[in-house]
Amino acid sequence: MRRLAIKSLAILALWASQAVAGDAPAVLRVSGQIANGPILLDFSQLRDLPQIGIETSTVVTDGTHRFTGFLMRDLLEHLDAQGDRVMATGLNDYVVDIPASDFMQFDVIIAHSMDGKALDRADKGPLWIIYPRDDHTELQDIRYDYRWVWQLSEIEVK
């Protein structure tokens, strides 16, 4: 167990040093009730998670788009998250609490691209929480629209 903890700390230190050195800039900070946290993640680490695509409309874009990213529940499982909600924060300081049950009930993703193009800061990126709203009528409720955090920069598991 001690060896695993030391190895995990070494990996975290390496990831943090890469982010500071500019080799792999961190794009997402995850803290709270996770194993070995808080942690800074870069795009290569996030792309190591299984990637999926969903097609859905949004309330802030025209038409239907294909979003590519990873399931929020896969990220939380990968980090051994233990909370029942997530506080998501955007670069614009928008903050919202999301029940963790959303991630089990729906295929909520953290998208890094839309229609095959990387999301950038000027267009809701680099990361955007996306719900499959067209697949579930209950997701077309304004209460869920508030949970779509664009320019996602931080997640705190509570």
Alpha helices in the chain (DSSP H): 2-21, 43-47, 72-78, 101-105, 142-145
SS3 content of the chain, % helix, strand, coil (to 5): 30, 35, 35
Give domain status of residue 118, yes or no: yes
Identify the domain containing residue 138 by its residue range: 25-157
Give domain status of residue 18, yes or no: no
pLDDT, tens only, 103-138 = 999 999 999 999 999 999 988 999 999 999 999 999
Residue 42 one-letter amino acid:
D
Domain of 63: which CATH number?
3.90.420.10
Q: Residue 118 has which token pair?
A: 């990387």
Residue of 11, 128, 24 lying closest to 67 (CA atoms): 128
Percent of the chain predicted with pLDDT > 70: 85
CA distance 18 to 25: 7
Give domain status of residue 8, yes or no: no
The pLDDT value recorded for residue 6 is 39
Give domain status of residue 11, yes or no: no
pLDDT bracket for residue 23 (50, 70, 90): low
Mean pLDDT of 34-43: 94
pLDDT, tens only, 52-110 = 999 999 999 999 999 999 999 999 999 999 999 999 999 999 999 999 999 999 999 99
The pLDDT value recorded for residue 123 is 83
Give domain status of residue 19, yes or no: no
pTM: 0.84
Using the predicted structure, report yes or no on whether residue 3 has a pLDDT greater than 60.
no
Give domain status of residue 52, yes or no: yes
Helix (H, G, I), strand (E, B) or coil at 63: coil
- Count H helices and E strands in the chain, helices first: 5, 10
